[in-house]
Chains A and B, each alone.
Chain A
Amino acid sequence: MKNNLILYIGILILGIAAPFIFPAFKVQLSILCVLIVLATTWNIQGGEMGYNSFGNILFYGLGMYLCASVQVGMFFPLAEWTESGGEKTFVHTPAQFFQGMAVGLIVAAVVPTIVAGLIGYSILGLRGHYFAICTLGLGVAAGEISGGIEIIGAGQGFTTPPFPDVGSLDSRGEFFYFLSFFVLVLTFVTVRSIYTTRFKLILNAIRDNEDKAEAMGIETMKYKIIGWMISAFFCGLAGGIMGGLVGYIDSTDVAFDGREMGVFMVLMAILGGKGTLWGPIIGATVFHIFKEGFWTFFLGWQYVALGVLIVVIVIYFPEGIMGWLREKYPERFGEVVDEKDRKAQVELK
């Protein structure tokens, strides 16, 4: 336990110091924080609950649009803003920008949570691949429909308010980094404290055998919905931050991007090892480094690489990094190993 505390403090200090150690990578580090948040929250119902969703992108995109719309709509007419493409006629003062961002992020977190609660009741009754395909359909439908709505920019996209001039040039990167890092810490603390309660055991029971869990008197539907709502809350926050960070929202290429973000969060969680606390974090970090390298050096071939990567990870590495480590060093995970028994099992394999 004491070791863990030192580890956490070390990571916290590293996280706070990171933008000053690597000043050129502030945007990348903020994206990494957002990716970790997405992977960790996907893991709540994908890994722990066994409900593999392709639809968390819905909350991410919703949060993105909501945050930007609120930020603009609080001070200027939204329709004129999208029509002008965020031109110089409307400029946020620093106070307006930060107020708008704060209110926008709250809305971006709360509304997806409510949406998750509402649709969760109908969708979480589906199981297995029906749930997966249904959520896939939901994500794509949201993208297609938001691409037809005029007030949020329809096909041309939506420019989020530019960062106001508050003195130094670096402040934009630092602001977004610390915002996303704060959300990351918030997510980690929440998820970690959830995982120490009975709630996690219930989620695992649902994953292992839902009928039996129900027969034992657990109201599975209630817990499934709560689990999904927690995911939606943080996905919405992450989306809101990402919208401000990218500076431009497009319905199918940025917000409801099932081909990129929607798959990334699944892939990161599986790469790291689903159903573990640290797995998604490690997976997201490894994936982000790999992705940035590939995106830079093999520009144009990145989706080919992504497709191959998905197939390879899924077929040859479904347990992920944490699963592999667990196989290799079971003692570290608090499992008591009987050496004779383990050898016998290895021989059996």
Chain B
Amino acid sequence: MTRAVHRRMLPLLLMTSVLLTGCWDRVEIDQRGFVVGVGIDEPDKKEGEKQGSNIQDHDTQSQDKQSGVSSKQTFKVLYQIVMPAGLSTNKSDGSSEGDKAYFNMSVEENAMATSMAKLSQRLSRAPFFEHLKVIIISESIARKPQKFAEAIDFFLRESQMRRSTRVMVTRDKAGNILNTHPPDQKLPAQYLEELSDNTKESSRILPESRIGDVHEFLLKHKSFAIQGVMNGNRNYSTVTEAAVFNGTSNQMVGFLNSKETAGLNFMEGHVKGGQIKFTFEDRLGVFSIERVSRKLDCTFGRDNLPSFIFHIEVEGSVDEVFHAPDTLKEPAISAMETGVQKEIVKLMESTANKLQHEYNCDVMGLREYLFHNHYRWFKQHENQWEEEGKLFSTRPVQMDVKVSVRRSGNINLTED
């Protein structure tokens, strides 16, 4: 290289050094505060909050009280943040007692993004949402008009967010649920996420409600149900209920209890497993579901209004029978099948009844069915379905359930 080229290279090198000053977005991994769970509650009205095991923010509350804005905030947002040190497993046994892998911090605000900003005022580590697993929303927020959509907007809009984050509603305080800390799980949020996946074990758990799906329901004005979680205490929470949302007003109207949730699962064809307790000939038996297929049909009557029939075929085995007759013989098998069949029809009818007559919310997918398969009719009657004409609540719905008991376990009779 000649000297001239050297001379020309020098300014170039200087210029590039300006560009190499660093990365704007560099955040070391130990500087991130991984938020894994979010709980959204109504702010407390009472003074002097009960001291939980979590680190609560007395600071802000006292500040808020001083400035008198406490009542104006609409959300009390609880963030669950990972403490990486508590996660490591290879620690000496002695210290593991006091080590927690998470802490909760709550903020009162009326918008999520500002609540996050408030959080950053208190945490040395910047909150980071890409590993957010669950959002728990308390019933009181979900029941207020508009508030539900307002609460989840941030979690859909922010670019760090994933559409697969779980959303659940609780009768309890969301804060209590996020303190559930069973001995075998380090993080409540992860515990809840895995719990919500247990649909193969129980028919009374609704399929997991992903925030992306909820977004679509809100846009479609479809009534929908999302997983409910309850009795949060130190050692466990229960995921079994379903919170029903009205598609017109996009607010929560009520809960389905666990049996009704099972009925809803059957109607939507979401059952993947679980047990059905049934009686036949005054005996008690437990049927274990292995496979379910669901088909919805409708026929239009003379008044040009549809009536629906659910065809459901269930296969499975018998897990437990008290004082069983000869479970290998045809009469007993068909008796058991009838018993299970009646039980499932009962479940579904009670759900349909509640949805049609109490909540007037078409969660079971009739509206979608009409939209998909009878578009013309749907367009004419779109506004009369749930709202004015209340078509939904008057439509007859029949259940046609077929049960096959394929197996009855290792033994035939328990006692003779």
| A and B pair up | no
Could you list which residues of chain B lie within 8 angstroms of chain A, going by C-beta atoms? none
Task: List A residues at the B interface (Cβ < 8 Å).
Answer: none
